[in-house]
Structure 1
Amino acid sequence: MAISVLLALGLVGAGDSPGGASVPAESQFPESRPGPNTAPFLGLPPPRETRCTVSDILEPSCGVWWGASPYGGDVESLESAADRNMDIVYTWRGIDQADVPGERERRLVAQGRFVHTNIEARRFTRSGHPAIAYRDILAGRFDSSLRSQARGVAELEVPYFITFDHEADGKNRYNNRGTPEEFVRSWRHIVDLYRAEGADNAIWVWNVTGWPGNVDRLPGLWPGNDYVDWISWEAYNMTGCDKMSNWDHVDSFEDALSPTYDWIQEEGPKHGIDPDKPVMIGEMGTTDIGPGETLKWYADIPDVLRRYERVRAVKLWDSKVSDGCDFRVQANDYARRGFELAGQDPYVHLPDRVRRLAEYAATRDRSRD
């Protein structure tokens, strides 16, 4: 990574000025919208003074980035409902699309958000987005579009999260577009192309489903520590979902998060997986499980995260599979309120200047090149 500066500052609470740290004045940071001081709103005590750093791969030491894949791509509506900005926005693109990042991703970056793009092994330039075989990637048939993507990411000159073909362990993906070995080789091929084009600001996020029944597939899908910056999986409760007819129970956010977390920590090293890599919950959400229960499912998330220290980013999947499988928080007032309460917790509502540490680090590093 080219963004190699670690910056630190004293955090006494959102809105307080930095103390005792060598950082530039606020006027020297890029323009960005501040978040509210939410501790009094929630009746919480102010956070204790901590020493916060943001690494070259955007890992914060003092809390968790909060983000979403917004319904219909409308991040502004979700932010209004949640009464806060999203730190990260998730987008989906095809491996055949040369214009990545596109207009939408560039606008999100310009407005001060981080972007996480999943590059699917699909032809997004064709109707129906047909899947492609990994062997076609390995044969170099998409090298031209991939090199164009890499140059576009490099030109942004800001950290940019990227995943290749998320959920490769899922039942509809595993051994479908190719073998696990071909997935790994394709992942490395893409990373190598990006690096050759100077996209050192790309942050590589290995995103799997994390379903307990799939963990035995993970070792064969691991691209290697040199090719992965963040480890990511999903945390869902799908009670009543008509696409999951056997789901007759309720999983809390912790129930959904912990099995793969524990597996990575305990079994990962046996398979060459570094358990110290930061974790991103790439997608999360619950179906309607009752007013109080739905609100609590979301509102409990920050306290859960405090117990799982490697988790440093969480993203809501704010979308709808069917009428009986709806994860949109704006479609359920209790889900919206719970998501709002969770998002105001200081642990996931990092002061705006923490984000600017990463921006300043990138600026400092570029000035030294």
Structure 2
Amino acid sequence: MNGRHAGPHKRAYTAVVLVAVALLVAGLGVWAGGVDGTAGNGDDARSPGRDLPRNAASGELPTGSCAPDEKLVAGCGAWWGAYIPYDRNSSLTKPVYAFEKKIGRKLDLVYTYHDMSGGKTDGELLTADEQELGKDRLLMLAWESTVWKEPHHANYTETQLGWKNIAAGKYDAKIIDPQIRRLKAYGKRVFFSFDQEVDARIKEGAGTPAEYVAAYRHLYDRFRKLGADNAVWVWTVSGYLGSADAMKQLYPGDDYVDWIGMDQYNYFGCHDTTDWNDFDESQRPTYDWLLENISAKKPLMMAEFATAPDPADPDRQRGWYSAIPGVIRTMPKVKAMVHWNRATSAEAKCDLTVNEGPALEGYRKAGGDRYFKQTVPSR
């Protein structure tokens, strides 16, 4: 999840968040053993992938010069999306609908995250809520090679399964194949990302760049073997240029990647940063670097973006967001934008949401621009 390169502050949640976790646990039941007996969302780990989704592909594909291609690249403009956290009752639909009401439009794309526990809450691709939202929106599923230790990764604590083990097929039968079959049964095309912000996972013990590439290609090959051709593959990095060498080593190759994703923020006073970077300054360096050093052939997704507030100038957030339509037109490879609508700690200076005030006003204005008005395909 977001900004792993920002350091341990991202994971150090305070008592406010712990209370929310307690409520989640009370509502969902005690976490059981996950993969290999690790603590995690093992509530349904005994029967991963049961109750396959219905095929959601329906209707006719959009036509015309602006219609998206087979890899979901819109011919004109870009998709407008967001990551919205679950509410304390473990609903995703309610907070998404509430967010859309605030911003005055339907999202094109909803981004969600999953672990590899096999549990129904977080380890099952295409939950009932995702399927509901996917009826008239695109979905982006991020699948982490970890087992989370609390519902919806509330405190970002997890157990690594290891890229070497993924590449060796250790989890194919129990975890990976059943979830691939779920995605195949869904039918409709979805964006899919394996271990997003992968450049930050090396220091977390996931493995080496070579092991990641092997794991990624193994997963890709399993999808192809099982016929889940509706996955559109997004290779996502933090985009932090201090990890430039690692990002080069982690790229699986153009044959295995449909989109490239980047997660860049204006943290300002959050996570020990001090400089204010406007939207252009926060995004363009990584955008340019990826095109020059990874691939100029692929569409780019701003898979997570947001700005922290400036307590001395609340209106600064409004300007940051309202500048997006003009700036993004000068970055033609960006074909999707996904706002990270979640605070990274309980500190007000790390509140990246656009739920109210100048931030909401700027974001709402940006999302109303015609550049972000595309016809979402139904299949």
What stretches of structure 1 of length at least 5 have no aligned partner? 1-27, 31-49, 269-273, 363-369
- Matched to 1:313, the amino acid is A
Describe the shift of the 1:77–1:126 C-alpha distance in structure 2 as closer, same or farther (beyond 3 A).
Answer: closer
CA contact (8 A) 1:100 1:148 kept: no
Q: What residue is the counterpart of 1:15 in the other structure?
A: none
Partner of 2:350: 325
Q: 2:146 aligns with which of 122, 140, 143?
A: 122
* Deviation per residue, 1:237-294 (Å, 9 max, x gap): 00111xx21x1111112112111221122233xxxxx312110000000111222211
Q: Distance in 2 between matches of 1:260 and 1:203?
A: 22
Provide the C-alpha distance between the structure 2 equivalents of 1:131 and 1:250, rounded to a whole number of angstroms.
Answer: 34
Distance in 2, matches of 1:250 and 1:94, equals: 33
For the residue of structure 1 that corresponds to 2:216, the secondary structure is helix
Say if 2:159 is the partner of 1:159.
no
TM-score (norm 1): 0.77
1:96 touches 1:125 (CA, 8 Å); kept in 2? no
1:70 aligns with 2:95: no
Q: How many residues of Structure 1 are paired with residues of Structure 2 in the alignment?
A: 300
1:178 paired with 2:207, answer: yes
Contact 2:248 2:293 in 1 (8 A): no
Percent identity, aligned pairs only, is 32
Q: Name the CA distance, whole Å, in 1 between partners of 2:256 and 2:222.
A: 12
**Which whole-Å deviations, capped at 9, do the CAs of 1:212-255 have from their partners, x for residues lacking one?**
212222110001111110001012100111xx21x111111211
**Is it true that 1:192 corresponds to 2:221 in the alignment?**
yes
AA in 2 matched with 1:160: V
Amino acid at match of 1:267: N
Q: Are 1:61 and 2:61 matched, yes or no?
A: no
Residue type of the alignment partner of 2:187: E
CA RMSD of aligned residues (A): 2.1
User: 1:23 maps to what in 2?
Assistant: none
Distance in 2 separating the partners of 1:173 and 1:320: 24
Q: For 1:256, which of 282, 306, 325 is the aligned residue?
A: 282
Q: TM-score, normalised by structure 2?
A: 0.75
SS at match of 1:154: helix
Is the 8 Å Cα contact of residues 167 and 173 (structure 1) preserved in structure 2? no
* 1:172-208, Cα deviation, whole Å (9 max, x unpaired): 5447210000011000111111111111010000010
- Structure 2, unaligned stretches of length 5 or more? 1-57, 87-91, 152-156
**Which residue of structure 2 aligns with residue 169 of structure 1?**
199
Summarize the Cα distance change of 1:203–1:174 in structure 2 as closer, same or farther, 3 Å threshold: farther
Give the direction of change, closer, same or farther, for the CA distance of 1:185–1:90 in structure 2 (3 Å limit): same
Question: Which position in structure 2 is the counterpart of 1:340?
Answer: 364
Q: Which residue of 2 aligns with 1:88?
A: 109
Instruction: Give yes or no for the alignment of 1:109 onto 2:134.
Output: yes
Q: Residues 294 and 338 of structure 1 are in contact (CA less than 8 Å); yes or no, is this contact kept in structure 2?
A: yes
Shift of 1:154: 1.2
The residue aligned with 1:16 is none
